Structure 1
Amino acid sequence: MNRMIGLWAHPRSRSTVLERVFIERGDFEVFHEPFAHMAFSEDSAIPSDEWDHSLPTTYQGIKEHLVTARERTNVFHKDMCYHCLDDLKVDVGFLAQQDNIFLIREPASSIISHHRVHPDMPLQAIGHKALYDIFCVVTKLTGKVPYVINADDLAAEPERVIRKLCDHLGIEFLPHAMTWKRECPQQWKTWRSWHAAAENSERIVSPDHQTIDSEAFEQYPKLKEMYEYHRTFYARMNEFCQ
C-alpha cells in the first residue's frame, strides 16, 4: 500500500523548506497546504498570489483529494492545523491512515517572521495552539508520542535531522534531495510571497543571525501577547523533539 505522510506545522516554521526535500526525492506526490483552500479564498485578507481554482475548498473534498492521490502513489502533504482544526480533531480515521510528523519553531522567531508577511494575522494563525491540539489527538489515537522536529535543529543540522526522520519513517535517505535549483515549485505558487527565502534557497541553511528582534515586541504589543499565549504549547511539544 502507498504511504501518506502528514507534516503538521505552524506558519513560519521552516516547513516549506522541509517540504522541498520531499519534492526533490521524487517518490512522493507533494501537496502544499491543501487545507488552506478551505480556510481562505483569493478574496481573503491574507496575502496570496496565483490562486489555484482547481483544488477542493471543503474539508471532505480536500481529504478525498489526498486519499485518492494515495491510491496511485505515495503522498506527502504539509499543512497548518489551524486551517482545519475543528474537522481534523474529530477525524481520527484520516489521522490514523498516515504518518503524522510535527514541526515546531520557537514562537518569538515565527511570530516576528509572520508579522513581516501578514501584519494583521489573528491570534489563532500563529498556530502553536492548534498544532498542540492535534499533537494530543494523535498521541491519544496511537498510544505514543508523535515524532516532533524543532526547526532550529533542522536549520543547524539538516542532514542529521533528515536522516533521522527517514529512519523513523522507514524510507531511504536520498542525498540528492538535500540540494535543489533556485525556483518556485508549482505547489507554492498560491502562496509564493510567503516563500521567497525557500524559493531562493539551494539547500536547508541556518540563518547567519539568530537574534530575536525584540524591538518588534516593543513596537507592536500584540506580538508579545501572541507570544505569551503560544509559548506554553511550544514548550510542551519541544520536550519531545527528536
Structure 2
Amino acid sequence: MNRMIGLWAHPRSRSTVLERVFIERGDFEVFHEPFAHMAFSKDSAIPSDEWDHSLPTTYQGIKEHLLTARERSNVFHKDMCYHCLDDLKIDTHFLAQQDNIFLIREPARSIVSHHRVHPDMPLHAIGHKALYDIFCVVTKLTGKVPYVINADDLAAEPERVIRKLCDHLSIEFLPQAMTWKRECPEQWKTWRSWHVDAENSERIIAPPEQPIDTTLFEQYPKLKVMYEYHRTFYARMNEFCQ
C-alpha cells in the first residue's frame, strides 16, 4: 500500500519550505493545506491569491480526496490543525492511516511573522494550541510520542534534520531534493502571498536571527496575549523535538 505522510504545523512555522523538499523528491504527490478549503473561501478575509476550485470544501470530501490520491501514489500533505480541529480530533481512523509529523516554531517569531501578512488574525489561528491537541490525540492513539521537529533546528541544520526525518519514515534521503529552482509550485498558488520567501528560495537556509521586535507587542497588546496563550503549548511539544 502507498504511504501517506501528514505534516501538521501552525502558520509561519517554516512548514512550506519543508514541504518543498517533498515536492522536489518526486516520489510523493504533495498537497498544500487542503483542509484550509473547509475553513476559508476566496471571499474570506484572510489574504489569498489564485483560488483552487478543484478541491472539496468539506472535511469528509477533503479526506476522501487524499485517500483517493493514495491509491495511485504516495501522498504528503501539509496542514494546519486549526483548520479542521473538531473533525480531526475524533477521526482517529484517518490519523491512524498515516505517519503524523509535527513542526513547531517559537511562537513570538511566528506571531510577528503572521502579523505582517494578516494583522487581523484571531487567537486560535496562531495554531499552537490546536497543534498540541492533535499531538495529544496521536500520542494516545499510537501509544508513543509523535515525531516533532523544531523549525529553528530545521533552518540551522537542514540536512541533518531531513536525514533524521527520512530515517524515521524509512524513506531514502535524496540529496538532490535539498535544492530547487526559484519558482512557485502549483500547490502554493492559492496562498502565494504567504510564501514569498519560500518561492524565492533555492534551499533551506537560516536567515540572520534578529532580536524579536517587542515594540510590536507594545503597539499591539493582542499579540502579547496570543504569545502568552500559545507559548505553553509550544514548550510542551518542544520537550519532544528530535
Q: TM-score band (shorter)? A: over 0.9
Aligned counterparts of 2:215 and 2:151: Cα–Cα separation in 1 = 23
Aligned counterparts of 1:55 and 1:77: Cα–Cα separation in 2 = 13
Aligned counterparts of 1:54 and 1:74: Cα–Cα separation in 2 = 20
**Partner residue in 2 for 1:157:** 157
* SS state at 2:72 partner: coil
What are structure 1's unaligned runs of at least 5 residues?
A: none
Cα shift readout 1:48-89 (whole Å, capped 9, x = no counterpart): 000011110000000000000000000000000000000000
The alpha carbon displacement at 1:211 in A equals 1.9
Cα shift readout 1:129-188 (whole Å, capped 9, x = no counterpart): 000000000000000000000000000000000000000000000000000000000000
* SS state at 1:100 partner: strand
Aligned counterparts of 2:51 and 2:203: Cα–Cα separation in 1 = 27
1:129 and 2:133 matched:
no
Aligned counterparts of 1:109 and 1:148: Cα–Cα separation in 2 = 18
* Length-normalised TM-score, structure 2: 1.00
Cα shift readout 1:183-216 (whole Å, capped 9, x = no counterpart): 0000000000000000000000001124211111
Indicate the RMSD between aligned Cα atoms, in angstroms.
0.4
Aligned counterparts of 2:91 and 2:164: Cα–Cα separation in 1 = 28
* SS state at 2:206 partner: coil
* SS state at 1:211 partner: coil
* SS state at 2:176 partner: helix
Aligned counterparts of 2:217 and 2:152: Cα–Cα separation in 1 = 21
* SS state at 1:71 partner: helix
The alpha carbon displacement at 1:40 in A equals 0.1
Aligned counterparts of 1:161 and 1:38: Cα–Cα separation in 2 = 31
Cα shift readout 1:14-47 (whole Å, capped 9, x = no counterpart): 0000000000000000000000000000000000
What are structure 2's unaligned runs of at least 5 residues?
A: none
The alpha carbon displacement at 1:222 in A equals 0.4
Aligned counterparts of 2:178 and 2:212: Cα–Cα separation in 1 = 27
Aligned counterparts of 1:234 and 1:208: Cα–Cα separation in 2 = 22
* SS state at 2:42 partner: coil
* SS state at 2:149 partner: strand
* SS state at 2:103 partner: strand
More deviation, 86-95/214-223: 214-223
**Partner residue in 2 for 1:170:** 170
Alignment coverage as a number of residue pairs: 242
* SS state at 1:12 partner: coil
Aligned counterparts of 2:219 and 2:175: Cα–Cα separation in 1 = 43
Q: Percent identity?
A: 90
**Partner residue in 1 for 2:200:** 200
Moved over 3 A (4+): none
Aligned counterparts of 2:28 and 2:68: Cα–Cα separation in 1 = 14
* SS state at 2:145 partner: coil
Aligned counterparts of 2:138 and 2:209: Cα–Cα separation in 1 = 35
More deviation, 200-209/81-90: 200-209
* SS state at 1:86 partner: helix
74 and 31 in structure 1: CA distance in 2 versus 1, 3 angstrom threshold: same
Aligned counterparts of 2:191 and 2:233: Cα–Cα separation in 1 = 26
* Length-normalised TM-score, structure 1: 1.00
Aligned counterparts of 2:102 and 2:55: Cα–Cα separation in 1 = 24
Aligned counterparts of 2:52 and 2:235: Cα–Cα separation in 1 = 36
Aligned counterparts of 1:217 and 1:207: Cα–Cα separation in 2 = 22
